Amino acid sequence: MDQTPTSPDPETVERAELEAEQQHVDRVYDRVAEAARSASRIAVEGHQRAQAQNVGRVREEEQTGLYERDVLVFAAARRIAELDAEHEGLVFGRLDSDGGDDRPAAERAGDLDKLYVGRIGVRDAEYEPLVIDWRAPAAEPFYRATSTDRLGVVRRRVLRNKGARIIGIEDDLLAPERAPEDLPVMGEGALMASLSRARGHTMRDIVATIQAEQDKAIRAPARGVTVIGGGPGTGKTVVALHRAAYLLYSDRRRFERGGVLVVGPSAAFMAYIERVLPSLGENTVSLRAVGELVDGVRATAIDEADVAAIKGSLRMRGVLSRAARDRVPGAPTSLRVFVGGATVELDANQLDNVRRNALRRTPRNRAAAEARKGLVAALWSRFPEDLRNGVYGDRESFGDAVTDLPAYRSFFAAWWPVLTAQAVLRWLGDPRRLTRWARHDLTTAEIETLAAGIAGTDELTVADVALLDELTTLLGRPPVVEAGKDEEFDWLEGLSDGVNEVLTTSERRARAAAAADADEPEEYAHVLVDEAQDLSPMQWRMVTRRGPQASWTIVGDPAQSSWPDPDEARTAMETMLSHLQRHTFRLSTNYRNSAEIYAFAGEVIRQQIPDADLPDAVRRTGVKPELRVFDAGKVAEAAGDAAGELLELVEGTVGVIVPPKLRPGVDAVLAELDNPRIAALTPLESKGLEYDAVVVVEPDRIVSDTLGGVRALYVVLTRATQRMITINSSTHWLPPHGSDGGP
Ligand SMILES: Nc1ncnc2c1ncn2[C@@H]1O[C@H](COP(=O)(O)OP(=O)(O)OP(=O)(O)O)[C@@H](O)[C@H]1O
C-alpha cells in the first residue's frame, strides 16, 4: 500500500499539545500536594515533640529544618490553598528560548530551553524548578519579549486553564526563523482571546497576558512615588494590583510586616477588585474604600456636588481647627465652688482663657490634665488670701480639695468631655457656630450650604470621613486609662456621664468597631491609591497620614476626575508627597472599550479637555454606540427596554448608569427584568467598573448633576466592552462634529 506522509490535522496537533502540557501541569500539582503533606507532617511532629519535651530549642531547630528543606514548596502549598481552584490555574505560561542564539534553527544543536511560568514557584524533589513565579526576574521575558526585542524567546505560550485542567493554548511566535520546523503554534493570540471574553461581576487577574509597558510599571522599584497614568481601560487598576503582589514578592519581609494598603473610590469598586490579589496568592493586602479609611466607619453616602466640593477643600483645615478648640456647645459658662469657707467663681472669659492655654500645645483629648491645672490656678488666684494660710498651705492641697468636690467634678465632666470627631463634625451643622469658625475661609453662601448639608442628615458621607480623620488628629486620641494605674487621669472616673452625653449610640458602636480593628496597622509600608484624580485635598491629607514612611503607587487619569477643580487636588497630592522621588509610567492602550465605543467617548472629552491623554483602543467589534431619544417621561421605560435587548446580545454583564435623581424610576423598571446580569448604578459608582454592555441614561443630567460634569460623563461612556446605548431626552452633550465611532 502506498503511504505518503501527511502532516497531522490541526485538531490532532492541538490534542497532543494539550495532553503534553497537561502532563507537566499534573506533575506540578502532584508535587505541591506531596509537599503540603510532608510539610504539615514535619510541622505537626516538630510541634508535638517540642511540647512533649518542653525544649524550645528543639522546636526551633525543627522549624529551621522545615524552613531550609521545604520553604519553597511549603509556601507554594499554603498559597495554592488560597487560589480559587475553580478558575485560576497554577501554571499559565511557557517560554521556549534559544538563549539569544542568533543562528538559524537548523544550524543550532539541541532543543529550545523551556520554562514554565505560574502564579507561584514550585520545585521538584531535586530542587529543579517545575514552574517559576511570574514575579521572578527569570519570568520577565514572558512579559517583555517582543518580535523586535525578543530577549531570547522563540515562542511564548499562554495556557488557558480551568482549575488544574488545561483547556486552551494561545501561542505567540516571536522568531519564526529560529523555530524548529515542527514547533507547533496555536491560537489567535492570548491577549485578544482574553479581551473578547465576557465579563463577570468581579475583575480577573491578567497575569497571563501582562503587556510590556504594564510589566515595567508593575516591576518598578518600591522607592518614593510611582505614578501610573493613562486613559480609561489601559489597565491602571489591574496593573496596580499586580504591582502590590510584585512588591510582596520582591521584599516580603518589609511589605508583609509593614503592610500594603490599597485605597479605591467606593465599596462597590473594592468588591469588584477584591478577587485579584487572592488569585495571585496574596491575602495580606488591606483594601479600603476612601469612605472606610477611618477605623470603625463605613461611609457610602455621597453629598450633593456643592456640599462635597466644600467638604473636600483645603479651606476646611482652618474651619475644623477652630471648631476643635472652641467651647463645647451647651457646656457651663461659669464655675462656682464653695471651698475652705469661701465661694470662688470663674466667669466665661476666665474659663475661655484656661481653655486656650490648655490647648496651646496639647490636643484637646490629651489636655484634660492641663485644663485641670489651669482651673485650679485660676481658682487659687481668686481664693481670698487671708484664708489661704488658715486652710490650705499651698496650691496643691487646695487643688486636691477643689477637684474632689462634686460640684467641680460635674462641672468638669460637662466642660471638658472627651470629644469624638463625629460630635465635633455635627457642631458644623449650626450656621451661627459655623460662621464663627469659617468666616475667614468660606463665603456666606458656602457656610449656609455646608451647615444645611451637615444638619440635613445623620448619615456620614464619604467626604465626611476625611473631616473626621482631620478632627481625630486635631482632638487627639484620649489616653487609655487602666483603672488605678494613672493618677493623672483619675478625673476620667467621675466623668462617665459626661462622656456618654457626647457619644451617640452609633458613635459608641463605631468606637467598639474601632477597638476591634485596633490590631490592623494604621500606618503602612506601601500605599497604593487608585482613581487618585478623585481624591479631594482633604482626602489626600487623610491618605498620607496612613503612610508617613511609606513608598507610594499612585494611579489615575485627570480627564476622569470628579473633583470640580482637578488642579487643586493635584497640588494637594504634590504638596503631601513632594519630598519623595517620583517615577512616572504611562499606559497607552485601552483594553476595555471597543474601538467604536472609545472613538465616541474620546470625542466627548476632547471638547472639554483638548489635550486629554487618549489611549488607543485596539479591539474592533463593528458595532457603533447607539443613541435613542425619548420624551423625559419615557426615559426609565426606554432604559429597561434597552437593558433587556442588550441581555440578549451579550453573554456577560449589563450596566445601567443613571443620574441619582432618576435612579428610583429606573430601579423599578429593572426590578421587573429581575436578572442578576444587570446592575444599576450612579455615575460615581461606575468609576473603575466595566460591563459588557452599558445603557447610559440621560447624559445631559449626568453632566449637570454630577461633580466633574463632562469628565463624569466620560467615565460613564468608557465602561462598556462591547455595546453601548444612550437614552436621551436632550442631546446638548453630543460632540458637535460627531466622530467615526459616534452614534
Ligand atoms: N494585559 C492585559 N491583558 C488582559 N486584559 C487586560 C490587560 N490589561 C488590561 N486588561 C483589561 O482591561 C480592562 C481595563 O483595565 P482596568 O480597569 O485596570 O483599567 P483602568 O485603566 O484602571 O481603567 P479606568 O481608568 O477606566 O477605570 C480590565 O478588564 C482588564 O482586565
Reported as a single tens digit per residue, the pLDDT across 306-323 is 899 999 999 999 999 999
Answer with the one of 386, 416, 446 that is the final residue of a domain.
Answer: 416
Final residue belonging to a domain, choices 416, 440, 473? 416
**Whether residue 504 has pLDDT greater than 50:** no
Identify the pLDDT of residue 47: 53
Residue 596 CA from chain centroid, whole number: 30
Ligand 1: distance of its center to the CA of 233 in Å? 5
Distance in angstroms between the alpha carbons of the first and the last residue of the chain: 64
Which residues have C-beta within 8 Å of that of residue 54, sequence separation ≥ 6? Answer: none
Residue 658 lies in a domain: yes
Compute the distance from residue 167 Cα to the ligand 1 centre, in Å: 23
* Torsion, CA 293, CA 295, CA 297, CA 298, rounded to 10: 50
**Ligand 1 atom nearest 211 alpha carbon:** 1
Per-residue confidence band for 485, with pLDDT thresholds at 50, 70 and 90: very low
Q: Residue 234 CA: which ligand 1 atom is closest?
A: 21
Whether 363 is covered by a domain: the verdict is: yes
CA distance 160 to 94: 11
Q: Is 377 within a domain?
A: yes
Domain count, the chain: 2
Q: Is residue 534 part of a domain?
A: no
Say if ligand 1 is within 6 A of residue 194 CB: yes
Residue 489, pLDDT > 70, answer no
Q: Is 640 annotated as a binding residue?
A: no
CA–centroid distance, residue 254 to ligand 1 (Å): 28
The response to whether residue 210 sits with its C-beta less than 6 Å from ligand 1 reads yes
Q: Is residue 166 part of a domain?
A: no
Whether residue 709 is contained in a domain is answered as yes
What does the pLDDT average to over 251-273?
91
Summarize the confidence of residues 568-589 as an average pLDDT.
87
Instruction: Give the global pTM.
Output: 0.83
Domain end among 416, 444, 473: 416
Question: Is residue 738 very low, low, confident or very high in pLDDT (cuts 50, 70, 90)?
Answer: low
pLDDT over 70 at 87, yes or no: no
Q: Which residue range is the domain that position 375 belongs to?
A: 335-416
Beta bridge partner(s), residue 725: 626, 695
Distance in Å, CA 711 to ligand 1 centroid: 19
3-class SS at 428?
Answer: coil
Atom number of ligand 1 nearest to Cα 199: 29
Can you tell me the distance from the alpha carbon of 242 to that of 135, in angstroms, rounded to the nearest whole number? 9
pLDDT at 641 over 90: yes
> Atom 9 of ligand 1 has which residue's CA nearest to it?
235
Give yes or no for residue 451 CB within 6 A of ligand 1. no
How much is the pLDDT for 601? Answer: 97
Element (H, E) at 196: helix 190-196
- If one residue of 214, 553, 591 were mutated to test the ligand 1 pocket, choosing by the most ligand atoms within 8 A of its CB, it would be 591
- Predicted interface score ipTM higher than 0.90: yes
- Cα–Cα nearest to 242, from 200, 196, 209: 209
> Could you tell me if 251 and 222 are in contact, meaning their C-beta atoms sit under 8 angstroms apart?
yes
At residue 173, the pLDDT reads 86
| Residue 429 is assigned to a ligand binding site | no
* pLDDT the model gives residue 79: 61
pLDDT of 12 reads 85
pLDDT of residue 502: 37
SS3 call for 590: strand
The predicted model gives 218-222 an average pLDDT of 94
Top-confidence range, 108-122, 473-487, 552-566 = 552-566
Flag whether pLDDT at 73 surpasses 60.
no
* 461, pLDDT greater than 60: yes
Q: Is residue 648 part of a domain?
A: yes
Kindly tell me if the per-residue pLDDT of 292 is higher than 90.
yes
Q: Which helix (H) or strand (E) holds 157?
A: strand 153-162
The mean predicted confidence, pLDDT, of the chain is 84
Q: Is 504 known as a binding-site position?
A: no
Residues 6+ apart with CB under 8 A from 497: 410, 413
Q: Residue 657's domain is classified under what CATH number?
A: 3.40.50.300
For ligand 1, say whether the CB of 183 is within 6 Å of any of its atoms.
Answer: no
In the numeric block, the cell 544550524 is attached to 107
pLDDT grade, residue 493 (50/70/90)? very low
Asked if residue 80 has its Cβ within 6 Å of ligand 1, the reply is: no
Quick check: is 141 in a domain? no
